[in-house]
Structure formats: structure tokens, C-alpha cells
Amino acid sequence: MQVDISLKKIEDRSYTIFIEPIEKIRNLSKAVIVTNPKVAGLHLGYLLPKIEASELYIVTLPDGEDYKNEQALNYLLERLFDHKIDRKSTLIAFGGGVIGDMTGFAAAIYQRGIDFIQIPTTLLSQVDASVGGKTGINNRFGKNLIGAFHQPKAVYIDTHFLTTLPQREFAAGVAEIVKMAVVFDKEFFAWLEEHDLYEEEHLKYAIKRSVELKAAIVAKDEREGGMRASLNYGHTFAHVIENETNYKRFLHGEAVAIGMVMANELAKLMDLMSQEDAQRVKTLLEKYNLPTCYEIKDVDSFYEHFFLDKKTQADKIKFVLPRGVGDFVITDSVPKERVFEALKRFTR
Ligand code: NAD
Ligand code: MG
């Protein structure tokens, strides 16, 4: 005897990412806006009149990566019970990636899963975190180690919110845009070289293109069995840098910028990338004042840190290396000597 359960694929959980000023979000039954004091202070007044729900609640969580934890999650879940949120209700994540990841995770586990909507308010969360369905929290063992794949019902990307974003946070988002272009799309990369993202129309196009590229990858490989790992370009190095600097010195996107420069050094040594292409990437990052230098004090220790990454399996480090601009390889067979040679270029 056998019983087959055919589970729905991602197509049945398709959703739309709107990149335009929010007009109205209609027909919600009970809804809860999850946000933090900073975003609420700046932008809740803009959002509230645009939401039509039979009942609407607001839950405010403390601001920052330090609060992307079990306590804040539990606080959020308790408020959902207080407000008698049910399986037909919708959570609205209104903030940067921290709020998005936590709200998404709460939506994934509250009564075994309810709907949620993303309204990302940082550039990084607009081009990256709000799309793709990865949700979760950090704990003392590391970042994003507890979580679920839970796709939103819709994503509303409104660049109005970015007008209040500090310059460094803006640039951190640009780093992830550059990442998408380097691995997937050489025309987009060339376009980025020619256009200034401080201009609204250009920024909108860059967001749209980044989101398209990410959506295409997620649709092919939702759970990162293969291709989705390409989004980790620069990240293997960035995670070590963030770790060595206790997550204090660099924003994530800044560490990714340096990480891409490091990955490019390795790609050059592996004859995958020309010096000229590596320079183009560096120049583009520098245009947005992103850091591209980092002094590695101890190469052995830096190398050992690769093995703390949750994406490093057994003794194999998986590198995403650009093949020129617009293409990539994922490899776990880079000789250790080559990695050392690349890392040594970042020592004094
Ligand atoms: P963040 O959410 O901490 O936001 C950065 C800061 O900007 C915060 O202080 C926030 O309150 C503030 N802010 C938000 N919107 C603002 C606005 N419009 N004007 C002024 N200030 C504003 O950080 P982030 O960079 O948005 O996201 C980083 C988080 O996203 C990390 O936790 C990371 O793990 C996660 N992430 C998730 C994914 C995913 O696929 N789920 C992908 C990338 C990153
Ligand atoms: Mg990233």
C-alpha cells in the first residue's frame, strides 16, 4: 500500500512585489503592523491611512540586530495572542530586515503559520531581505540559526521611505545590488557604472532589476539546495570580517563590499576574473563610499573562521567566485594555498 501526498510547489505560493508608491492595501481582516520606534516615528503616519483592515493593531519591537532574538519574538507572539489574532489575520512587517525576518518568522510559527506582508523600509531590505521567504532570529550560537522558509503574500517597495535612511545604510543596500549584478547580469553592471543611484528613477530601476534577479533564483531554488548559494558571493569572507570585528565596525553590506573584493582576488588567482573586471567592481563600490580594504592581521585565524560559518560543511569551504562580470562558479575545491595567497594580499 502507499499513500502519496503531493505538496504544492512555490508557484502556488506566488506573490507580487510592488515597486511603486503605496496607494491602498485593501481587504485585510485583522492585521498587525510590526515595527520599531524609529520607523514608526518617521513613517507610520504615511502608512496608516493606506491600510484598510477590519481591525488594526500595532506592535513595536526594540530597534536593532541585538534584539532579533527569542525575547523579542516571544514578546511579539504574546501580543498576537492578546489581540486574538487568528489564522485569517495578516502580519505586516514594517521596517528593515530585522523587523522583516522576525515578523516573517512569527507569521511562520503563529498557529502553525499565518499570512504576512512585507513593507521594507531600508534599501537592503527592499532589494534583498524582503524577497525570498527566509525568516528567522539569531541566538547565542550565531545569526539566523533559528528560522523557517515562509513566503510573504505580497511585498510593497516604496522608495519614499528611503528619504530618511542614513547614507551608510543606503550604501550597504547598494552593496547587495552590486552583488546581484556581478554574479548574474553584466548589462545591469554596466548600467550601474553609468547611472547614479542617488537619482530616484535610477534607484527604482536598480531595485526592480535586483528584485527580479533574486526572485528568479528563489523560484528555481527556494531552499538553497544549489543555485541560491550564488547570492552568497562576498558573504563567505564578509561573515569572517563581521565575526572578527564583533559585528560592530561594519554594517553587513559594508562587510559584503570588502568580501566581494576578497572573492575577486581569489577569482583572479583562479584565472576566473581579469584584473580589469575586479577593478570595475572596486570602483563601483567606492563610488558609494563602501569600504574595500580590510587588514587581515592573522591569515591562519581568518582561514579558521571560515569553518564557523553555518554554510561551511565538514572541511569544505564553498566559495562563490565571479567568472568575469555577470557569471559565477560555486566551488568547494579551491586549494588551501590559493585561499591563503588571496588572503595574504590583505595583510600589511
Ligand atoms: P535593520 O533592520 O537593522 O535596519 C537598519 C537601521 O535602519 C535600523 O536602525 C532601522 O530602524 C533603521 N531604519 C529602517 N528604515 C528606516 C528608514 N526608512 N529611515 C531611517 N532609518 C530606518 O537592518 P537592514 O540592513 O534593513 O537588515 C539587516 C537584517 O536583514 C539582518 O538581520 C539580516 O540577517 C537580514 N537579512 C535577511 C535576508 C533574508 O533573506 N531574509 C537577507 C538579507 C538580510
Ligand atoms: Mg547579505
The verdict on 263 and 336 lying in the same domain is yes
Domain stop point among 111, 137, 162: 162
- Domain CATH for 29: 3.40.50.1970
The verdict on 98 and 241 lying in the same domain is no
The verdict on 238 and 300 lying in the same domain is yes
Annotated binding site: 63-68, 97-101, 121-122, 134, 143, 161-164, 176, 235, 252
pLDDT at residue number 343:
98
The verdict on 116 and 211 lying in the same domain is no
Domain stop point among 162, 195, 210: 162
194 within a domain of the structure (yes/no): yes
pLDDT at residue number 10:
62
CA gap 254, 238 in Å, rounded = 8
Q: How far is the CA of 24 from the centre of ligand 2 (A)?
A: 30
pLDDT at residue number 176:
98
Neighbours of 146 (CB within 10 A): 16
Helix (H, G, I), strand (E, B) or coil at 37: helix
> What dihedral angle (degrees, nearest 10) is formed by the CA atoms of 74, 76, 77, 83?
150
Instruction: Give how many domains the chain has, as a whole number.
Output: 2
Q: Is 224 a catalytic residue?
A: yes
Residue that the C-alpha cell 498576537 belongs to: 80
The verdict on 132 and 215 lying in the same domain is no
The verdict on 143 and 243 lying in the same domain is no
129: Cβ below 6 Å to ligand 1?
yes
54 within a domain of the structure (yes/no): yes
3-state secondary structure 311-326: CCECCECCEEEECCCC
5 within a domain of the structure (yes/no): no
Residue bearing the CA closest to ligand 1, atom 32: 98
Q: Is 239 a catalytic residue?
A: yes
The verdict on 228 and 118 lying in the same domain is no
* Strand 142-149, strand 328-331: pairing: unpaired
CA gap 341, 348 in Å, rounded = 13
CA atoms within 13 A on the CB side of 61: 33
- Domain CATH for 334: 1.20.1090.10
Domain hosting residue 336, numbered range: 167-345
The verdict on 69 and 101 lying in the same domain is yes
| 281 backbone dihedrals φ, ψ, rounded to 5° | -65, -45
CA gap 17, 139 in Å, rounded = 30
8 within a domain of the structure (yes/no): no
CA gap 151, 10 in Å, rounded = 9
Helix (H, G, I), strand (E, B) or coil at 52: strand
- Please name which of 236, 231, 229, 183 lies closest in space to residue 343, comparing C-alpha atoms: 236
The verdict on 140 and 231 lying in the same domain is no
pLDDT at residue number 215:
94
pTM recorded for the entire structure? 0.96
* DSSP annotation of 151: -
pLDDT at residue number 308:
82
The verdict on 81 and 221 lying in the same domain is no
4 within a domain of the structure (yes/no): no
Show the low-confidence residues of the chain (pLDDT under 70): 7-11, 313-314
Domain stop point among 144, 162, 180: 162
pLDDT at residue number 8:
64
The verdict on 131 and 265 lying in the same domain is no
Q: Is 134 a catalytic residue?
A: yes
The verdict on 252 and 112 lying in the same domain is no
193: Cβ below 6 Å to ligand 1?
no
Would you state the cell numbers that stand for residue 308, as one nine-digit string?
564557523
10 within a domain of the structure (yes/no): no
